[in-house]
Structure 1
Amino acid sequence: MTAKLSLAALPALGKVEVPTYRREDLSPGIVHFGVGNFHRAHLAVYLHELFQKGENRDWAIVGAGVLPSDAAMKDRLAAQDYLYTVVEQDRDRNAATVLGVMVDFLPPGDPATTIARLATPEIRIVSMTITEGGYFLDPAKGVFDPNHPAMVEDGRNPDAPKTVFGLIIAGLKARRAAGLAPFTVMSCDNIPSNGEVTRETLCGLAKLSDPEFAHWIEANVAFPNAMVDRITPATNPGQIEFLKAEFGVEDAAPVFCEGFRQWVVEDHFPLGRPAFETVGAQFVPDVAPYEHMKIRILNGGHAAIAYPAALMDIPLVHEAMEEPLVDRFLEKLETEEIIPIVPPVPDTDLRAYFGIIRERFSNPKVRDTIPRLALDGSNRQPKFILPSTRDRLAANEDVVGLSLVSALWCRYLAGTTDSGAPIEIMDVNRDRLHAAAVKAKDDPQAFLELRDIFGDLADDPRFKARFAHALKTLETKGTRATLEAYLGGTLV
Structure 2
Amino acid sequence: MTTKLSLASLPAITTAAKPTYSRADLSPGIVHFGVGNFHRAHQAVYLDALFNSGEGHDWAIIGAGTRASDAAMRDALSAQDWLTSVVEQEADSSKAHVTAVMLDYLEPGDSQAVIAALTDPAIRIVSLTITEGGYYIDPASQKFDPTHPDIAYDAANFAAPKTAFGLILAGLVKRREAGIAPFTIMSCDNIPGNGHVTQNAIAGLANLIDPALAEWVHTAVAFPNGMVDRITPATSDREKAILAEQYGIEDAWPVFCENFKQWVLEDHFPSGRPALEKVGVQFVADVAPYEHMKIRILNGGHATIAYPAGLLDIHFVHEAMEHPLVSAFLKKVESEEIIPIVPPVPDTDLNDYFALCEQRFANPKIGDTIRRLALDGSNRQPKFIIPSALDRVSAGDGVMGLALVSALWCRYCYGTTESGAVIEPNDPNWDRLTAQARKARDNPAAWLEMGDIYGALAGDPAFVAAFTHCLTALWANGTTATLEAYLADRL
TM-score by length of 1: 0.99
Deviations 1:137-175 (A, max 9, x none): 100110000111111111111111000000000000000
What are the Cα deviations for residues 409-453 of structure 1, in whole angstroms up to 9, with x where unaligned? 011111111111111131111111111111111111110010000
Structure 2 counterpart SS, 1:433: helix
Q: Secondary structure at the residue paired with 1:63?
A: strand
Aligned to 2:80: 80
Partner of 2:172: 172
Aligned position for 1:299: 299
Q: How does 1:91-490 map to 2 (within 5 A)?
A: 91-490=91-490
State the alpha-carbon separation in 1 of the partners of residues 465 and 246 from structure 2.
Answer: 54
Aligned CA RMSD, in angstroms, stands at 0.6
Deviation string for 1:64-107 (max 9, x for gaps)? 01112211111111111111100000011111000000001111
* Structure 1 residue ranges (4+ consecutive) displaced by more than 3 angstroms after TM superposition: none
| Cα deviation, residue 377, structure 1 | 0.3
Q: Secondary structure at the match of 2:32?
A: strand
SS in 1 for 2:69: helix
Query: CA offset at residue 259 of structure 1?
Result: 0.5
SS at match of 1:16: coil
Which whole-Å deviations, capped at 9, do the CAs of 1:332-359 have from their partners, x for residues lacking one?
0000000000000000000000000000
Partner-residue secondary structure (3-state), 2:63: strand
Q: Greater shift after overlay, 376-385 or 155-164?
A: 155-164
| Structure 1 residue 369: Cα displacement | 0.4
Matches within 5 A, 1:17-32: 17-32=17-32
Please state how far the C-alpha of 1:2 moved relative to its aligned partner: 1.8
- CA drift of 1:115 comes to 0.1
Counterpart code for 1:438: R
Q: Tell me how far apart the structure 2 counterparts of residues 424 and 342 of structure 1 sit (CA, whole Å).
A: 34
CA distance in 1, matches of 2:305, 2:86: 27
Shift of 1:456: 1.1
Distance 1:5 1:412 in 2: 40
Distance 2:435 2:242 in 1: 41
SS at match of 1:68: coil
Structure 2 distance, partners of 1:295, 1:33, is 22
How far residue 242 of structure 1 moved from its aligned partner, in angstroms, is: 1.1
Letter in 2 for 1:238: R
CA distance in 2, matches of 1:73, 1:215: 36
Shift of 1:472: 0.4
Per the TM alignment, residue 458 of structure 1 is displaced from its structure 2 partner at its CA by: 1.0
What is the rounded CA distance, in whole Å, between the counterparts of 1:9 and 1:290 in structure 2?
41
Aligned match of 1:39: 39
SS of corresponding position for 1:368: coil
Residue 31 of structure 1 deviates from its aligned partner by 0.2
- Name the SS for the 1:137 alignment partner: coil
- Counterpart for residue 64 of structure 2: 64
Distance in structure 1 (CA, Å) of the matches to 2:68 and 2:97: 27
SS in 2 for 1:55: coil
How far apart are the structure 2 equivalents of 1:238 and 1:228? Answer: 26
Measure the CA separation in 2 of the matches of 1:23 and 1:421.
Answer: 49
Secondary structure of residue in 2 paired with 1:144? coil
Counterpart CA distance in 1 for 2:139 and 2:163 is 19
Q: Residues of 1 paired with 2:428 and 2:206: CA distance?
A: 25
Shift, 1:3, TM fit: 1.0
CA distance in 2, matches of 1:212, 1:426: 40
Distance 1:375 1:259 in 2: 23
C-alpha distance in 1 between matches for 2:432 and 2:235? 30
Question: TM-score normalized by structure 2?
Answer: 0.99
Which whole-Å CA distance do the structure 2 matches of 1:424 and 1:79 have between them?
Answer: 32
- 1:184-222 CA-to-partner distances (Å, cap 9, x unmatched) read 000000000000000001100111112211111111000
Structure 1 unaligned runs (5+)? none
Q: Which amino acid aligns with 1:243?
A: L
- For 2:265 and 2:480, the matched residues in 1 are separated by 41
CA–CA distance in structure 1, aligned partners of residues 210 and 243 of structure 2: 50
2:8 partner amino acid? A
Tell me how far apart the structure 1 counterparts of residues 19 and 429 of structure 2 sit (CA, whole Å): 43
* Distance across 1 between alignment mates of 2:25 and 2:31: 18
What is aligned with 1:48? 48
* Distance in 2 of aligned mates of 1:489 and 1:208: 52
Distance in 2, matches of 1:72 and 1:408, equals 34
Q: What is the identity, as a one-letter code, of the residue corresponding to 1:246?
A: Q
Name the SS for the 2:328 alignment partner.
helix
Counterpart of 2:15 in structure 1 is 15
User: Residue by residue, what CA displacement relative to the aligned partner does 1:210-262 show, whole Å, maximum 9, x if unpaired?
Assistant: 22111111110000000000000001112111111111111111100000000
Cα separation, 1, equivalents of 2:188 and 2:299: 15
Q: Which runs of 5+ in 2 are unaligned?
A: none
Please give the per-residue CA displacement for 1:14-68, whole angstroms capped at 9, x wherever unaligned.
1110111111100000000000000000000000000000000000000001112
Write the letter of the residue equivalent to 1:300.
G
- Matched residues in 2 for 1:81 and 1:299: separation? 34
Once residues 130 and 9 of structure 1 are traced to their aligned partners in structure 2, the CA distance between those partners, rounded to angstroms, is 31
- Bigger mean CA deviation after superposition, 476-485 or 421-430: 421-430
Aligned residue type for 1:219: T
